[in-house]
Amino acid sequence: MIAARRKAKIDQKRMAQLLDVPATVAQPPAIRAVDVHKVYRTRHTEYHALRGATLDVARGEFLSIMGPSGSGKSTLFNMIGGLGKPTSGKVFIDEVDVAHLDHNELAWLRCRKIGYIFQSYNLIQVMTCLENVMLPMAFAGLDSDRAREKALLLLELVGLGHRPLHRPAELSGGQQQRCAIARALANSPSIVLADEPTANLDQKTGGEMIELLCRLRDELGVTVISATHDPKMLMRSDRVLWIADGKIVRSCTPAELKAEGGGHHG
Ligand code: ADP
Ligand code: MG
């Protein structure tokens, strides 16, 4: 019996060798950007914000991107999040070329699949926290009772359960940032784009938000990309990339970063 089982195992491996295929097929990346360029044109000037950015992000990976201000982090997020079109190059989400999506498919992607935590929050000022978090769920067609219930839970999760009826102007920068995080999670996205999500948070709250992003990865397999210089966030990432002048110039692990003296580069 045991011999037969062992034999079956060997046969399977042998079969893979004979067919020249890996025994386990590698998962395709959740996100792939290939040679992405973005040129912003105004009436008098032209600015080359991305100059051939290329990266792959595995499903369920927590990737952090570091780079000086103006190096193209937010622009890269906009291209990945389908908020702008690359001047050239391609972005694939789950192997689908974003440029080939029609208006409705793109709207679906932005609403259901990608949770975007904007650097400048982009909360709607005339709406309460609760309404801001409910809004993406309304777009997704969730009935308002369930949306309200879920929004309250999300606000509780980010520590704003006691402030559901405040408007953004009545909140501190850190509280607005947390509201923006709750809103990004409204439709249970499989990809979270977090643009400097702890920049305005104190150490403790920042740490809690990092743990929240890690839990999304660990428990739900969510893919997280953050733009950050927060050493705590860098250390919890699976991989760290550097962007400079619109190009990915380096990749390393948090352990390598630590060996070099922490995340205080670039
Ligand atoms: P980062 O997020 O790394 O600070 P950004 O992606 O925001 O960098 O910006 C990269 C460069 O592109 C900057 O020089 C910025 O001024 C320019 N830029 C960004 N958005 C626009 C825009 N909408 N129009 C013109 N220039 C822009
Ligand atoms: Mg930015």
pLDDT tens, 51-109?
A: 999 999 999 999 999 999 999 999 999 999 999 999 999 999 999 999 999 999 999 99
Decide: 28 in ligand 1 pocket, CB within 6 A.
Answer: no
Decide: 73 in ligand 1 pocket, CB within 6 A.
Answer: yes
**pLDDT for 5 beyond 60:** no
Q: Hey, what domains does the chain have and what are their CATH numbers?
A: 59-74+103-240+247-259 (3.40.50.300)
Q: Which of 36, 39, 46, 74 to mutate to test the pocket of ligand 1 (most atoms within 8 A of CB)?
A: 74
Which of 199, 221, 246, 218 is CA-nearest to residue 55?
246
Q: How confident is the model at residue 158 (pLDDT cuts 50, 70, 90)?
A: very high
Q: How far is the CA of 246 from the centre of ligand 1 (A)?
A: 10
Which of 116, 238, 90, 233 is CA-nearest to residue 180?
116
What do you get for the CA distance between the two ends of the chain, in Å?
60
Percent of the chain with pLDDT over 70: 89
**pLDDT for 16 beyond 70:** no
pLDDT at 27: 81
Mean pLDDT over 207-230 rounds to 95
pLDDT at 12: 60
Contact, 63 vs 226, CB < 8 A?
yes
Owner of token pair 């990976």 = 61
Decide: 66 in ligand 1 pocket, CB within 6 A.
Answer: no
Q: How confident is the model at residue 146 (pLDDT cuts 50, 70, 90)?
A: very high
Distance between CA 39 and CA 43 in Å, rounded?
Answer: 13
Which of 107, 99, 86, 96 is CA-nearest to residue 38?
86
Mean pLDDT over 139-162 rounds to 96
Q: How far is the CA of 70 from the centre of ligand 1 (A)?
A: 6
Token pair listed for 235:
């250390």
- Enclosing H/E stretch for 150: helix 144-157
The amino acid that residue 54 corresponds to is T
Considering the chain, what is the average pLDDT of its residues?
91
The amino acid that residue 239 corresponds to is R
**pLDDT for 25 beyond 90:** no
Q: How far is the CA of 26 from the centre of ligand 2 (A)?
A: 32
State how far the alpha carbon of 240 is from the alpha carbons of 256, 257, 265, in Å.
10, 8, 12
Q: Which of 40, 65, 195 to mutate to test the pocket of ligand 1 (most atoms within 8 A of CB)?
A: 40
Determine the atom of ligand 1 nearest the C-alpha atom of 38. 12
